[in-house]
Amino acid sequence: MLRQGYASTTVDQICEESGLTKGAFFHHYTSKEELTRAAVAAWGEFGTSHYAEAWMGGETDPLAQLHRMLEIMMSFTERPDDPCTCMVGMMSQELAQTHPVLREACDRELEIWTANVARLLAEAKRIHPVAKPFEPEQVAWFLNSLWQGSMLVGKVHRSPALIRDNLRLARGFIDSLFATTPIPVPPSKSNTS
């Protein structure tokens, strides 16, 4: 589904790629929709595990944590054989109007991402003087939309660099909300080799 979308993926293809019989598939899932709901939840957990380094750094300046999150997002665009795509974003676009259960599953994952970013923005707002008033949740939804939209446009335009450029602009936007400069983020382990 990540490769070709929901509608173009058949249960037969899923069984063939996973090495399952159709009977085994239907033993675990009642439908392709149920499998997709599980895949969206698994993708959300997978993504959250990647962001955990930035989101859970309780001792770190929250602005530095946001910068680290953006670096992690940029790293997703640097895999040459793997386009930067999101199962939640893809399924949201394809199915939100036609599959209410899957729309709710995607919405739940988008809300988790947004809540974590809003929390960091609120924490930053508590400890840093703001340059202009803002609502953390509203900015977090804007950043989520920028991220999802950038992946879509980057995929169509075949330009991971476009996604990275947008994320750099997002970093500048976040910084412009505050009157102070965040603590620099140390290079990640993956970037130091």
User: Cβ(121)–Cβ(133) under 8 Å?
Assistant: no
Q: How confident is the model at residue 186 (pLDDT cuts 50, 70, 90)?
A: low
Domain extents in the chain: 33-191
> Residue 29 carries which side chain, given as an amino acid letter?
Y
Q: How confident is the model at residue 183 (pLDDT cuts 50, 70, 90)?
A: low
| Number of Cα atoms under 13 Å in the Cβ half of residue 71 | 18
Q: In whole angstroms, what is the distance from residue 190 CA to residue 45 CA?
A: 21
What DSSP state is assigned to residue 108? H
Q: In whole angstroms, what is the distance from residue 40 CA to residue 112 CA?
A: 13
CATH topology of domain 33-191: Tetracycline Repressor; domain 2 (1.10.357)
Three-class SS string for 85-107?
Answer: CCHHHHHHHHHCCCCHHHHHHHH
Q: How confident is the model at residue 193 (pLDDT cuts 50, 70, 90)?
A: very low
Question: How many residues appear in the chain?
Answer: 193
pTM of the model: 0.88
86-128 confidence digits (pLDDT tens):
999 999 999 999 999 999 999 999 999 999 999 999 999 999 9
**Angstrom distances, CA of residue 13 to CA of 10, 89, 90, 116:** 5, 22, 19, 36
- Dig out the tokens for 146 from the structure: 């920028």
Q: In whole angstroms, what is the distance from residue 143 CA to residue 160 CA?
A: 17
Q: In whole angstroms, what is the distance from residue 33 CA to residue 65 CA?
A: 36
Average pLDDT over all residues of the chain: 90
Supply the pLDDT for residue 191.
Answer: 43
Long-range contacts at 53-56 (CB < 8 A, ≥ 24 apart): 53/188, 55/116, 55/119, 55/120
Supply the pLDDT for residue 84.
Answer: 81
Q: In whole angstroms, what is the distance from residue 51 CA to residue 129 CA?
A: 26
